[in-house]
Amino acid sequence: MFTGIITDVGTIESVEARGDTRVVVRTAYDTGTVDLGASIACSGVCLTVVDKGPGWFSVDVSGETISRTAQGQWTAGRPLNLERALKLGEELGGHIVTGHVDGVAEVVSVSPQGDSKRIGFRVASDLAPFIAPKGSITIDGVSLTVNEVADQPDGSAHFAINLIPHTQAVTTLGALEQGQAVNIEIDVLARYLQRMEYYHGRR
């Protein structure tokens, strides 16, 4: 379980094709305090630490994960938003994040708004119903609030968030550009509401 509050921006140092894809991530974390088997969210994807050393850890990324996350995510030199798993008693500063990516969104606009940036995204029709104004959403592992949603004729949706200077500085989102793909996790409550509606509709 995570909160969507990023605590480090790491960098992929190397990628090795095995049965799964072994990814080595450079980090500012004190890896002496990271246990093998621990979960770390890497740009919104919950992954298990399988090896580590001073200033680095490695994870295995399955083909299923690669197919469901942003294109180009798992390449050497790519920065990653990192968050260690939430411990009981810690402050829940963002919202409840599972680290299970629901899909990919595309950046459709980036514009200044004071010192902040307003960033617009497009999501496909399968995710559009789960995004609501003033609701929570996780973008590349970052907990954010949806400002507005505009449904499109083809069933997709455009939504926008505001990125304050602090978030621009401490995550990868400040460098987003039009056309870029990002990982999306919808609010966990929306998942359960959809499931409840599905079963209610079958009765």
Q: What is the pLDDT of residue 164?
A: 96
Q: How far apart are CA 62 and CA 56, in angstroms?
A: 20
Model pLDDT for residues 12-68, shown as the tens digit of each residue: 999 999 889 999 999 999 999 999 999 999 999 999 999 999 999 999 999 999 999
Average pLDDT for 3-9: 95
Which domains does the chain show, CATH number per domain?
A: 8-84 (2.40.30.20), 103-202 (2.40.30.20)
Chain segment 152-197, per-residue pLDDT in tens: 999 999 999 999 999 999 999 999 999 999 999 998 776 666 656 6
Q: Give CA separation, 108 vs 73, 117, 169, 176, 181, in Å.
A: 18, 13, 21, 10, 10
How many angstroms separate the CA atoms of 130 and 111, rounded?
25
pLDDT of residue 10: 98
Which token pair is 167?
A: 């978030």
Distance CA 112, CA 98 (A): 31
Q: Helix, strand, or coil here: 69?
A: coil
Whole-angstrom Cα distance, residue 35 to residue 58?
Answer: 12
Cα dihedral sign, 62-68-71-74: negative
Per-residue model confidence (pLDDT) at position 95: 75
List pLDDT tens digits, range 112-147. Answer: 999 999 999 999 999 999 999 999 999 999 999 999
pTM of whole model > 0.75? yes
Q: Over the stretch 72-102, which tens digit does the pLDDT of each residue have? A: 999 999 999 999 998 766 666 667 899 999 9
- Round to whole Å and give the CA distance between 105 and 54: 34
